[in-house]
């Protein structure tokens, strides 16, 4: 028996494009890739990035990929190893949303995102850890234990898509799906030193995503760099008749696979034509509210350095103001829990999911099943959400939050209309915290969401890319946030790609643990 | 003290779409439990509602039929409450902004015309059903089952203003509303299966008082008789309560048909806080003027328009026109029959459809579509009355024979075979008149003494002699002429 490499085979390839070329050229086999990735995932179990692995299911997909490749068929992702956040429902693998409530739940259907990536040929390694029902920013709210940050196992990987970011950072998969309700793709990507994008609300179908805050939830990929994000986002996005909030067109362009790639290619071509100053004319809005006293100096420095890199590429920095930024925390923590309190009502122990062992009448069965099935953060948000929707409080909280939401969106609209093409700033005020650090004060995590919530409330596309390291202890990754105008995913990815062409933060890898 | 009863109705009409309001499961009634419930109806994780446009179009049709405003933008909200047969534990329902706003319904209560204004009509989904009876769990224990076949069935809840003042008015309103939704084809109207059910808000106040009394809501009345009885009982209960010095408590009540009484279900104090908020899974419903026009183009002539036309063009009374337009099949039948009669005789057709035909249908519990006497055959019969071949009275016998299918149901064949042709030969009638006058001198005397009743008696004798076949007008004229001539002699 030959010794297995420490890292899975796909880590020898810098990009999905390179791996795809190898697969198509017969220089790599999907089955071998999948086997090595499965072994690596199992070997890295201390990260607790995966919740459900089923080698049979994965290997069957890999064999099918090889058959297609052998016939010269297949899609843009055929044979590429990925994995899904455990809030996307899947046939085969369990879907638990990292909750005891759904500990044994298997969906009879696949989420649209899962289905589309499968159609493109991607091979799934299984389901990734996250905060319970995607509520949290450290992956500590998982009923199945926290996922760990590959850069420091005592640090959180961020959340809620913590398992996704950790798996990509550790090289266990080429890319992973995540969901972002208030920063759950961007923040873990930042804390794990990988790239992630949350597209414009409505461009990716929510069908088959376990709902948290329906008006905010949006799926997005996490990968090493912008080009790999494009490889996932382009086939993921598109109108879906099963989601009434999915958009049929984006500013007159059909919402369909190919849209993001065309915009990316077009933006890149214009950059290339500009020669030595590829980003000549690009106006980068830097919101003063994103550089307040709570921002750690390490992060401020790394972001400043990134902005200087952008200036060296020809971009111009513009000071802007998003005056309602500080209101995004209260607005978000009213709207998201309000929607969650209703979305999570279906988990009552009647049809599926956890049911209490002993109970009195039917109402008691529901109460006990919910009290036992949900973790403390989920219960907290259900209580908050129930409260703000109550008769007599609705106007003061929910309606008021919706008004603030419009004001926040107006801030961004004004900035893009009058001042800039893209907005940049930090993703988080600090680098990854230590596991358990905020356990006594649950709202401390909420305050740390200040830079990501506004974008979610406005429904804008935004991403995080690695831009440095910092922190008091072991150096931990820092992310740069890029915020685009509506439907600007392709252009945003091209702006990120230009940065990644001249920097190597995204190529840094954590030491093998 | 004289009391006034105030009633408003909320009517749940099940819309006649093939599939559910937010999923493509079938809405067919009576399938085995849970065979018509997909991931959306079962509220599985990740499922999302998608609005059925057919349900919206039916709501638009209703709105147009009652002259309501069709909201260009309406909003679906979530009504949150926990109940085991409500799979999401919230019901999707239009709350603040319904698709149909305002409108009114005109109808007759006896011979009094009444107009009731509508507040609104909104779209919502039905819940599933709990099965308590004869249901056993996996270990044979008695248990409660959930059937989600009905979950997600589209409903249009039609809310009236509190403008009805008696149980009879409420029933007339409900019947008219029922007739209208069936007419439009937006609801099958099957009350046994729950396709049309009413909640009645009932309050009482001293006559002349402007302020409303405290109301009680009686839930789920699924027959017109129950509706009537429940309101009567409830009004009486409230009046007695107040007269005995008590006060009405705002509450929801249930009607028990077996005991003919209403019982308290829950008071307002323990009513849920439904925590309504706009459903973030469903964008606001936009109804364009263009869409409304397309729906309008596909609609049948409305009862109100038909009623107007029957009055203006066919000369029917408002009452007859209203009666005939309660049911599309009746109206169609009437129109077909009237079309075959000479101008100005539609009134006769209306009398026959609402009289003899309607009575026969009721007796046999048959629907007008199944009538053994078709419109053309009825028109042929009526034509024989108009041309004097038979009297109205004989025509009833002929109709009965037609109903029974005699001689192929042909009026002419029956008249011929039974020798019912009216005697219009004045010679023959004169002979009969003379014989009657000769045979009944005493009655003739009474007539001469000024008793009008004696004249009618003589007419009767002549008709008897003619076995009913003499032309009544001719008998009258000839008898009068003879008596007057004798008087002069």
- pLDDT of B469 > 90? The answer is no
Interface contacts A/B by beta carbons within 8 Å: 98
Residue A25, class by beta-carbon neighbours within 10 Å (0-12 exposed, 13-18 middle, 19+ buried)?
exposed
Catalytic residue chosen out of the listed positions A36, A76, A85, A161: A85
Q: Helix (H, G, I), strand (E, B), or coil: what is residue A49?
A: coil
pLDDT, tens digit, 9 for 90 and up, residues A143-157: 999 999 999 999 999
Residue with the bigger pLDDT between B138 and A37: it is A37
Mark yes or no for CB contact A363/B82 under 8 Å.
yes
List, in sequence order, every beta strand (DSSP E) within B134-207.
Answer: 145-147, 154-160, 196-206
Residues B283 and B305 in one domain: no
**Residue A349: which region, alpha, beta or left (left: phi > 0; alpha: psi -120 to 50)?**
left
Residues B31 and B161 in one domain: yes
Among candidate residues A504, A412, A430, the one with its CA nearest the CA of residue A190: A430
Q: Is B159 among the domain residues?
A: yes
Q: Which of B418, B452, B480 is where one domain is finished?
A: B418
Q: Which of A348, A352, A385, A406 to mutate to test the interface with B (most CBs of B within 10 A)?
A: A348
Q: CA torsion sign, A155 to A219 to A217 to A52?
A: negative
Using alpha carbons only, what angle is made at residue A247 by residues A243 and A249, rounded to the nearest 5 degrees?
150
Lowest mean pLDDT among A101-105, A187-191, B305-309, B429-433: B429-433
DSSP per-residue letters across B261-315 = EEEEEEEGGG------EE-TTSPPEE--HHHHHHHHHTSPPPHHHHHHHHHHTT-
3-state secondary structure of B3: strand
Domain boundary at B266, B291, B316, which? B291
- Give the domain extent around B46: 3-291
In this predicted model, what pLDDT tens digit does every residue of A232-274 receive, in sequence order?
999 999 999 999 999 999 999 999 999 999 999 999 999 999 9
Q: Is residue B413 located within the same domain as residue B436?
A: no
> What secondary structure does DSSP assign to B186-213, as a single string?
S----TTTTSEEEEEEEEEEETT--S--
Percent of chain A with pLDDT over 90: 93
- Whole-angstrom Cα distance, residue A281 to residue A313? 10
Domain count, chain A: 1
Two tokens, residue B412: 């002419």
Say whether pLDDT at A331 is over 90. Answer: yes
Asked, for residue B296, whether it belongs to a domain, the answer is no
Phi, psi of A45 (to 5 degrees): -60, -25
* pLDDT for the residue numbered A318: 98
Give how many domains chain B has, as a whole number.
3
A285 within a domain of the structure (yes/no): yes
A341 a catalytic residue? no
Domain of A36 in residue numbering reads as 9-328+398-507
Contacts of A111 in chain B (CB under 8 A): 46
Please check the confidence at residue A54 and state whether its pLDDT lies above 70.
yes
Q: Do B34 and B107 have their domain in common?
A: yes
What sign has the CA pseudo-torsion B207, B212, B218, B219? positive
Q: Which residue has the higher pLDDT, B268 or A129?
A: A129
Alpha helices in A344-449 (DSSP H): 362-373, 376-389, 400-418, 442-447
Helix axes B53-65, B167-184, angle to 10 degrees: 130
Nearest to A89 among B45, B50, B276 (CB): B45
For residue B332, give the 3-state DSSP assignment: helix
Question: Is residue A363 one of the residues assigned to a domain?
Answer: no
Q: Which residue has the tokens 């709210």?
A: A141
Nearest to A383 by CA among A346, A348, A342, A341: A341
Report which DSSP code applies to A100: G
Round the average pLDDT of chain A to a whole number and report it: 96
Residue A372 lies in a domain: no
A250 by DSSP, 3-state: which? strand
Name every chain B residue with its beta carbon within 8 A of the beta carbon of A350: 84, 87, 146
Do B145 and B235 belong together in one domain?
A: yes
Question: Residue B286 falls within a domain, yes or no?
Answer: yes
CATH of the domain at B438: 1.10.10.410
* Confidence band for A512, pLDDT divided at 50, 70 and 90: low
Phi, psi of A37 (to 5 degrees): -70, -40
Give CA angle at A15 (A9, A18), nearest 5°. Answer: 80
pTM of the model: 0.90
- Report yes or no: A506 and A224 within 8 Å, Cβ to Cβ: yes
Any bridge partners for residue A83, and if so which? Answer: A176
In whole angstroms, give the CA distance from residue B122 to residue B112. Answer: 30
- Does B400 share its domain with B273? no
Q: Is residue A199 part of a domain?
A: yes
Residue A165 backbone dihedrals phi, psi, to 5 degrees: -65, -40
User: ipTM of this complex > 0.90?
Assistant: yes
Q: Pick A23 or B481 by higher pLDDT.
A: A23
pLDDT of residue A2: 38
Is residue A381 a part of any domain in this protein? no
**B450: alpha, beta or left, given left = phi > 0 and alpha = psi -120 to 50?**
left
DSSP string for residues in A254-318: E-STTHHHHHHHHHHHHHHHTTTSTTTT-EEEEEGGGSSTTS-HHHHHHHHHHHHHHHHTT-EEE
Q: Which one of B418, B451, B471 terminates a domain?
A: B418
Query: Are B432 and B411 within one domain?
Result: no
Are the Cβ atoms of A107 and B80 closer than 8 angstroms? no
Catalytic residue among A160, A161, A246, A341: A160
Q: What is the pLDDT of residues A190-224, one digit of tens each?
A: 999 999 999 999 999 999 999 999 999 999 999 99
Q: Which A residues, 340 through 359, put their C-beta within 8 Å of a C-beta on chain B?
A: 341-342, 345-346, 348, 350-352
User: Which one from A184, A195, A341, A456 is the annotated catalytic residue?
Assistant: A184
- With contact defined as beta carbons under 8 Å apart, do B252 and B61 qualify? no
CB–CB contact B90 A348 (8 Å): no
- Across the interface, of B45, B80, B283, the residue whose CB is closest to A102 is B45
* Cα three-residue angle B215-B221-B223, rounded to 5 degrees: 135
How far apart CA B350 and CA B348 sit, in angstroms, is 5
Pair B133, B187 in one domain: yes
Same domain, B85 and B233: yes
User: What region, left, alpha or beta, does residue B385 occupy, with left being phi > 0 and alpha being psi -120 to 50 degrees?
Assistant: alpha
Alpha carbon distances (Å) from A474 to A159, A434, A468: 20, 11, 13
CATH number of the domain bearing residue A269: 3.90.1300.10
Cα–chain-centroid distance for residue A239?
20
H/E stretch holding B4 = strand B3-14
Q: Any chain A CB within 8 A of the CB of B47?
A: yes
A262 found inside a domain: yes
Tell whether B307 and B280 lie within a shared domain.
no
Residue partners of A444: CB distance under 8 A and separation at least 6:
A438
């Amino acid at each position: 028996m030959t010794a297995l490499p420490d890292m899975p085979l796909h880590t020898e390839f810098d990009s999905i494009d390179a791996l795809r070329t190898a697969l198509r050229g017969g220089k790599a086999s999907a089955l071998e890739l999948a086997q090595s990735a499965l072994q690596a995932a199992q070997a890295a179990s201390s990260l607790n990035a995966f919740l459900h692995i089923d080698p049979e299911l994965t290997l069957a997909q890999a064999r099918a990929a090889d058959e297609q490749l052998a016939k010269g068929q297949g899609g843009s992702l055929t044979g590429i190893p990925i994995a899904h956040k455990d809030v996307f429902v899947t046939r085969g693998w369990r879907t638990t949303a990292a909750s005891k409530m759904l500990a044994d739940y298997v969906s009879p259907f696949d989420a649209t995102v899962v289905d589309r990536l499968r159609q493109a040929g991607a091979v799934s390694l299984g389901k990734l850890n996250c905060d319970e029902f995607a509520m949290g920013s450290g992956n500590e709210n998982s009923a199945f234990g926290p996922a760990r940050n590959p850069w420091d196992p005592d640090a959180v990987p961020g959340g809620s898509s913590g398992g996704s970011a950790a798996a990509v950072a550790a090289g266990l998969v080429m890319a992973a799906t995540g969901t972002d309700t208030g920063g759950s793709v961007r923040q873990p990507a930042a804390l794990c030193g990988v790239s992630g994008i949350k597209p414009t609300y409505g461009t990716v179908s929510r069908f088959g995503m376990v709902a948290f805050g329906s008006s905010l939830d949006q799926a997005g990929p996490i990968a090493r760099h912008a080009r790999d994000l494009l490889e996932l986002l382009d086939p993921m996005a598109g109108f879906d008749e099963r989601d009434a909030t999915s958009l049929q067109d984006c500013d007159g362009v059909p919402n369909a696979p190919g849209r993001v790639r065309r915009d990316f290619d077009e933006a890149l071509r214009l950059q290339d034509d500009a020669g030595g100053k590829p980003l000549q004319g690009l106006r980068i809005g830097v919101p003063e509210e994103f550089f307040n006293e709570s921002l750690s100096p390490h992060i401020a420095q790394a972001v400043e350095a990134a902005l200087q890199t952008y200036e060296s590429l020809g971009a111009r920095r513009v000071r802007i103001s998003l005056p309602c930024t500080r209101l995004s925390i209260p607005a978000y923590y009213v709207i998201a829990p309000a929607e969650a309190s209703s979305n999570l009502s279906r988990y009552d122990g009647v049809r599926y999911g956890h049911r209490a062992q002993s109970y009195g009448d039917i109402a008691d069965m529901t109460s006990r099943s919910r009290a036992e099935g949900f973790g403390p953060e989920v219960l907290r948000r259900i209580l908050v959400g129930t409260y703000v929707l109550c008769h007599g409080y609705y106007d003061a909280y929910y309606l008021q939050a919706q008004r603030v939401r419009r004001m926040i969106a107006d801030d961004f609209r004004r900035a893009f209309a009058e001042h800039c093409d893209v907005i940049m700033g930090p993703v988080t005020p600090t680098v990854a915290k230590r596991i358990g650090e905020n356990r006594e004060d649950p709202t401390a995590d909420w305050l740390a969401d200040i830079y990501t919530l506004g974008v979610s409330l406005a429904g804008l596309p935004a991403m995080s890319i690695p831009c440095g390291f910092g922190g008091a202890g072991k150096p931990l990754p820092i992310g740069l946030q890029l915020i685009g105008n509506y439907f600007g995913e392709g252009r945003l990815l091209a702006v990120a790609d230009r940065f990644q062409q001249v920097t190597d933060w995204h190529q840094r890898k954590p030491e093998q643990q | 003290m004289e009391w006034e009863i105030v009633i408003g109705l909320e009517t749940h009409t099940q819309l006649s779409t093939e599939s559910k309001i937010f999923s493509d499961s079938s809405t067919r009634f009576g399938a085995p439990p849970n065979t018509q419930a997909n991931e959306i109806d079962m509220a599985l994780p990740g499922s999302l509602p998608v609005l059925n446009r057919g349900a919206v179009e039916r709501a638009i049709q209703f709105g147009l039929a009652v002259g309501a405003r069709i909201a260009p933008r309406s909003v679906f909200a979530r009504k949150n409450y926990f109940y085991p047969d409500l799979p999401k534990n919230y019901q999707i329902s239009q709350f603040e902004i319904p698709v149909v706003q305002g409108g009114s319904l005109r109808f007759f209560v006896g011979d009094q015309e009444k107009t009731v204004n509508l507040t609104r009509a909104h779209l919502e989904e039905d819940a599933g059903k709990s099965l308590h009876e004869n249901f056993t769990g996996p270990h044979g224990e008695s248990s409660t089952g959930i059937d989600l076949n009905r979950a997600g069935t589209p409903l249009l809840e039609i809310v009236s203003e509190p403008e009805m003042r008696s149980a009879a008015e409420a029933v007339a309103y409900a019947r008219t509303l029922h007739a209208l939704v069936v007419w439009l084809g937006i609801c099958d109207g099957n009350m046994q299966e729950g396709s049309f059910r009413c909640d009645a808000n009932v309050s009482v106040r001293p006559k002349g008082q402007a302020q409303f009394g405290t109301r009680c809501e009686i839930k789920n009345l699924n027959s017109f008789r129950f509706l009537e009885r429940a309101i009567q009982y409830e009004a009486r209960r409230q009046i007695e309560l107040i007269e005995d010095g008590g006060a009405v408590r705002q509450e929801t009540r249930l009607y028990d048909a077996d005991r003919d009484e209403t019982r308290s279900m829950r008071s307002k104090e323990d009513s849920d806080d439904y925590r309504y908020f706009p459903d973030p899974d469903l964008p606001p419903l936009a109804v364009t003027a263009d869409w409304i026009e397309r729906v309008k183009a596909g609609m049948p002539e409305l009862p109100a328009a038909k009623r107007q036309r029957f009055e203006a063009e066919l000369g029917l009374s408002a009452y007859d026109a209203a009666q005939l337009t309660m049911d599309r099949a009746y109206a169609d039948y009437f129109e077909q029959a009237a079309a075959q009669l000479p101008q100005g005789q539609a009134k006769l057709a209306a009398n026959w459809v609402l009289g003899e035909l309607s009575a026969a249908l009721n007796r046999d519990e048959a629907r007008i579509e199944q009538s053994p006497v078709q419109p053309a055959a009825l028109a042929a019969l009526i034509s024989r009355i108009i041309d004097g071949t038979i009297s109205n009275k004989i025509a009833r016998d002929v109709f009965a024979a037609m109903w029974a299918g005699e001689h192929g149901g042909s009026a002419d064949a029956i008249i011929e075979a039974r020798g019912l042709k009216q005697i219009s030969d004045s010679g023959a009638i004169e002979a009969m008149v003379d014989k009657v006058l000769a045979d009944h001198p005493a009655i003739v005397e009474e007539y001469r003494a000024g008793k009008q009743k004696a004249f009618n008696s003589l007419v009767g004798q002549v008709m008897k002699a003619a076995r009913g076949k003499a032309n009544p007008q001719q008998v009258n004229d000839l008898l009068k002429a003879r008596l007057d001539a004798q008087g002069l002699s």
